[in-house]
Structure 1
Amino acid sequence: MTSTPGTPAAAPAQPTRLAHLDAHTYRDWAAGEHSTVILPAGAFEQHGPHLPLGTDAILSSTIAEAVGSRIDAKVAEPLSYGYKSQQKSGGGDHLAGTVSLDAAALIAQARCILAGFLRQGVRNLVVLNGHYENYQFLYEAADLALADTGAGAGRADGSGPTVLLLSYWDYVSEDTLAAVYPEGFPGWDIEHGGVLETSLMLHLRPELVAMDRAVSHPPADLPRFDRLPVVSSRTPDTGCLSAPDGSSAEKGRLLYEQVAADLGADLAAELHLPR
């Protein structure tokens, strides 16, 4: 496409993913008043016979890109390995296909990445988590990264560097839950390999979902305590804590669009970003 004679051509749109940006463009962008980087965090974890091992990182990264495009933020490459899968939230670290980091390794990795962006002048960092077990270790990493870079004390007017931490499911609204689970939401504690993740993947990456391999079974019935070593028989044979019965790409589209819109609006308001 050519520009009208005498009219300067519009600058090409910058990519949302930082990995697709050159270093000099990144340097100039990071120095801006509103520079915001979203760091997705996932895991390498089994999600039953019908979903891929990278589900958590795929979902957090894809949602991060949708949010980034709304608020002119950039998206870093994801943390693709996460903290140890626990029996009551991910089936357990004993299951084939799950390869995890211990707490010290996850904290160290996230701390270095966050501190690196802060030292290079990035104004805001948003850690978008997609693996339940990661959360407190990402919190520790953010706190230490701020201290490492001298930003931990903050400023009274809130104008200093900022790190926000959230899990994408925190933004699933009650109305969306009612639409996705018309017979009643069973609870976040058993939503592993179930309707939410399966529907999102059917919408976003259907070529990676094998619904012909999905198994219908009752939800996991787990005690209120954690036991170590785990009693492996308490995890359903599929590795899923609930069945993906009723999953659909349409439900995934609803989840994806609602979460991206509400999260983008919340970040823009909290970080005073132009929209």
Structure 2
Amino acid sequence: MNAYLIQNLTWKEYQAKAKDGILIIPAGSTEQHGFHLPLGVDAIIASNFALRVAEKVGGVVAPTLTYGYKSQPSSGGGPLFPGTIDLNGATFTSLVKDILTEFLADGWQKIFILDAHYENEAFIAEACDLILRNPKNAFPKVLLGNWWDNIDPDLLAKIFDEVEFRGWALEHAAITETSLMMYFAPELVHQELSIDESFNPPTYQCFPLHDSLLPSSGSLYTARSSSADKGKIIVDNVVEKISSFLTKEFSELS
């Protein structure tokens, strides 16, 4: 049994952690990730990062948000593929707002939302702002962050040693996500099915969406040179950086 997961705690154990503990809420999506990765990539990555950060800072992890906001062709194009289950922006904002309201009512003072699906962030930020717009005290405090903004720039050369880094939007089902999945859940990776894609995304948005706007595979860039070793490099670096800023931001209440 994993004692860092709140679903494994009794309500008394849970209550005892709320006053001084750190609650981590992983946020992902259910979305296509090419031929070689499963629909749950973002949720799996968010959950695994959250557990490792919890172990580092002595926090606990809430159930993962497994549905997220829809992506556009320039960053995944999920709605065009079967198996992608999206929420509208207002729905997702309300979901996060309701969940945060419940946790705050339970007494949590330190909450970190760890996002692994880029399109979620504006709506998570909106929910946090609506709840904590006019604070009376420094706490409760909610932090929002992701894994890709917490990679040291000098590590990019190690990760993209064979393939050029073309920006985070094109890393959908590409080297970093594939490497993380090879490290976190290698049994779910079918690398032999990956496509050596090199996509030039449109510089505009189009409604309604149509499938000519992105590759038929759903991958935006190549996953060639992905490895579990690269995944570990990313994980070790990101967990250290996130743990560091959580300790700094939440230390005032200790």
TM norm structure 2: 0.95
SS in 2 for 1:24: helix
Q: What is the correspondence of 1:103-252 to structure 2 with a 5 Å cutoff?
A: 103-146=89-132, 152-155=134-137, 158=138, 160-182=139-161, 183-218=163-198, 220-252=199-231
Tell me by how many angstroms 1:41 deviates: 0.4
Q: Name the residue aligned to 1:90.
A: 76
How many positions carry a matched residue from both structures? 253
User: Is 2:32–2:78's contact at 8 Å kept on the other side of the alignment?
Assistant: no
Tell me by how many angstroms 1:144 deviates: 2.3
Tell me by how many angstroms 1:14 deviates: 7.9
Larger-gyration structure (1/2): 1
Question: 2:11 aligned to 18, 23, 42, which one?
Answer: 23
Tell me by how many angstroms 1:254 deviates: 0.5
User: Is 1:16–1:69's contact at 8 Å kept on the other side of the alignment?
Assistant: yes
Tell me by how many angstroms 1:273 deviates: 7.5
SS in 2 for 1:39: strand
Q: Alignment identity in percent? A: 36
Q: Name the residue aligned to 2:43.
A: 57
Tell me by how many angstroms 1:92 deviates: 3.7
What is the alpha-carbon distance in structure 1 between the residues aligned to residue 244 and residue 76 of structure 2?
30
User: Is 2:197–2:222's contact at 8 Å kept on the other side of the alignment?
Assistant: yes
SS in 1 for 2:142: strand
Cα shift readout 1:20-61 (whole Å, capped 9, x = no counterpart): 111001112212xx3211111000000001101000010011
Cα shift readout 1:93-150 (whole Å, capped 9, x = no counterpart): 1112211000111111111111111111111111111101111100111122336xxx
User: Is 2:7–2:63's contact at 8 Å kept on the other side of the alignment?
Assistant: yes
User: Is 1:268–1:274's contact at 8 Å kept on the other side of the alignment?
Assistant: no
Cα shift readout 1:157-212 (whole Å, capped 9, x = no counterpart): x2x20010111111011122110002432111211000000000001100010111
What is the alpha-carbon distance in structure 2 between the residues aligned to residue 273 and residue 250 of structure 1?
36
Amino acid of the structure 1 residue aligned with 2:245:
D
Q: Does 1:258 align with 2:244?
A: no
Q: Any stretches of 5+ residues in structure 1 without a counterpart?
A: 1-12
Q: Name the residue aligned to 2:23.
A: 37
Provide the alpha-carbon RMSD of the alignment: 1.8
What is the alpha-carbon distance in structure 2 between the residues aligned to residue 87 and residue 217 of structure 1?
14
Seen in structure 2, the aligned counterparts of structure 1 residues 89 and 96 have a Cα distance that, compared at 3 Å, is same
Q: Any stretches of 5+ residues in structure 2 without a counterpart?
A: none
User: Is 1:14–1:21's contact at 8 Å kept on the other side of the alignment?
Assistant: no
What is the alpha-carbon distance in structure 1 between the residues aligned to residue 75 and residue 237 of structure 2?
24
User: Is 1:87–1:235's contact at 8 Å kept on the other side of the alignment?
Assistant: yes
Range that drifts further, 265-274 or 135-144? 265-274
SS in 1 for 2:69: coil
Seen in structure 2, the aligned counterparts of structure 1 residues 21 and 273 have a Cα distance that, compared at 3 Å, is farther
What is the alpha-carbon distance in structure 2 between the residues aligned to residue 259 and residue 274 of structure 1?
24
Q: Which has a greater percent of helix?
A: 2
